[in-house]
């Protein structure tokens, strides 16, 4: 369906350039990276060299000052290509904005140019073994000693956990009984910080090239100036950034669902069963028609939210709805499309298998579907 976003000729050129870049630099090598469980740092550098990292950053920090649609295009093209393990959207649109929004002038000057060039890879560490979607349950602590911060605790399921050079860490600076909105602060932990270590990459059923890891802070010392924003404001900062985080998840899931359908329609027209194309069977037509309708609804909803976000509107409730509904829809689409591929869909040489596996995590990370429903219910006054 035709997009309703304010897409300019420059956006179209950018999308075509990025699509060619992905085809030339990533597609044929991606299976190897899945086997290795990590993506080479050189690829991040190439993303930076081509202007695909933090395009929204101001020229002062070596960015382009581009609008949000450039971030949307990057997320969509990575999702459409089935290379979702490249967590560039996490770097661009989830972690770097914490530095841009809450960092001091000195912090931004020190870190943002490297984020744009690819010399610095970012991660955010919120989740703990006993604190997932419930951020108030965070147990990692940060205590100030002799002008430095000392962190102790453990984080898990951290995307970019191995490659990251800077990690934005949520830690408790107030007492155990203090309310979360006054007791949590954000810190920037650099790769070589004393007392900071990483576990082995976590093996997963999907996103196999994504370097997800546990992080450990054992009397980890960082400079006092690595506090991000004000002490005790971390929980509020995290809440403020949930809208763009959940929106970018919906953007990626929507694009993946659209690509799944495209691949399946192409396959159904070519695959023959009992002497005629699979696409000529009524069941196939009905399944694909149903999926097309769901995807069209998702596209309309997601594009509406993109416009609202670009206009600076608060759509927290609606982005929770999109995170829940669109990711669940994308999971259903991948499953039903794989069924049409039959046995071939279960073979890794067919891209639909990767879309199927990668779709499963979409309803879990950045807030599970169940948590999204709870938040929506609260907005309803329930």
Asked if 26 contacts 43 with a C-beta cutoff of 8 angstroms, the reply is yes
Annotated catalytic residues are 245
CATH 2.60.40.1180 given to domain 123-238:
no
**Where are the domain boundaries for CATH 1.10.540.10 in the chain?**
9-120
The DSSP secondary structure of 19-70, one letter per residue, reads: HHHHHHHTHHHHHHHHHHTS--HHHHHHHHHTT-SSTTS-GGGT-----HHH
pLDDT score of 136 = 80
- Superfamily of domain 241-379, CATH level 4: Butyryl-CoA Dehydrogenase, subunit A, domain 3 (1.20.140.10)
All CATH 1.20.140.10 domain ranges of the chain, comma separated, are 241-379
CA distance 95 to 168: 7
Mean model confidence pLDDT for the chain:
96
**In angstroms, rounded to a whole number, what is the distance separating the alpha carbons of residues 328 and 251?**
13
**SS percent in the chain: helix, strand, coil, step 5:** 55, 15, 30
- Per-residue pLDDT of 10-36, as tens digits, reads 999 999 999 999 999 999 999 999 999
The CATH number fitting domain 9-120, selected from 2.60.120.620, 3.20.20.70, 1.10.540.10, 1.20.1420.20: 1.10.540.10
The pLDDT tens digits of the residues spanning 315-335 come to: 999 999 999 999 999 999 999
Which segments of the chain belong to CATH 2.40.110.10?
123-238
> Residue 33: exposed, middle, or buried by beta-carbon count in 10 A (0-12, 13-18, 19+)?
buried
Which residue numbers in the chain have pLDDT < 70?
none
Cα 116–220–175 angle (5° rounding)? 105
The single-letter DSSP state of residue 175 is: -
């Amino acid at each position: 369906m035709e997009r309703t976003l304010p897409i300019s000729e420059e956006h179209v050129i950018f999308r075509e350039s990025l699509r060619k870049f992905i085809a030339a630099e990533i597609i044929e090598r991606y299976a190897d990276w899945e086997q290795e469980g990590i993506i080479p740092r050189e690829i991040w550098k190439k993303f930076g060299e081509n202007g695909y990292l933090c395009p929204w950053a101001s020229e002062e920090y070596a960015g382009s000052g581009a609008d949000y649609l450039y971030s949307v295009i990057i997320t969509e093209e990575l999702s459409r290509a089935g290379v979702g393990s490249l967590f560039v959207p996490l770097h661009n649109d989830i972690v770097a904005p914490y530095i841009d929004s809450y960092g001091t002038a000195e912090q931004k000057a020190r870190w943002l140019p490297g984020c744009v060039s690819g010399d610095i890879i970012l991660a955010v560490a919120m989740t703990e073994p006993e604190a997932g979607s419930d951020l108030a349950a965070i147990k990692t602590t940060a205590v100030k000693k002799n002008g430095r911060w000392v962190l102790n605790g453990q984080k898990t399921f951290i995307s970019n956990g191995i490659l990251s050079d800077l990690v934005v860490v949520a830690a408790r600076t107030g007492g155990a009984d203090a309310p979360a909105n006054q007791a949590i602060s954000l810190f920037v932990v650099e790769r070589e910080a004393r007392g900071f270590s990483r576990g082995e990459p976590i093996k997963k059923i999907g996103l196999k090239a994504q370097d997800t890891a546990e992080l450990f802070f054992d009397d980890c010392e960082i400079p006092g100036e690595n506090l991000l924003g004000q002490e005790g404001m971390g929980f509020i900062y995290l809440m403020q950034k949930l809208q763009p985080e959940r929106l970018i998840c919906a953007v990626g899931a929507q694009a993946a669902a659209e690509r799944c359908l495209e691949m399946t329609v192409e396959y159904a027209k070519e695959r023959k069963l009992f002497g005629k194309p699979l696409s000529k069977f009524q069941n196939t037509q009905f399944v694909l028609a149903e999926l097309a309708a769901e995807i069209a609804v998702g596209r309309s909803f997601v594009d509406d939210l993109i416009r609202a976000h670009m206009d600076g509107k608060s759509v927290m409730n609606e982005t929770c709805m999109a995170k829940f509904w669109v990711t669940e829809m994308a999971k259903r689409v991948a499953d039903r499309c794989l069924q049409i591929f039959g046995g071939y869909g279960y073979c890794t040489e067919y891209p639909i298998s990767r879309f199927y596996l990668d779709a499963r995590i979409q309803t879990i990370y950045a807030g599970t579907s169940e948590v999204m429903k709870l938040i929506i219910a609260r907005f309803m006054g329930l």
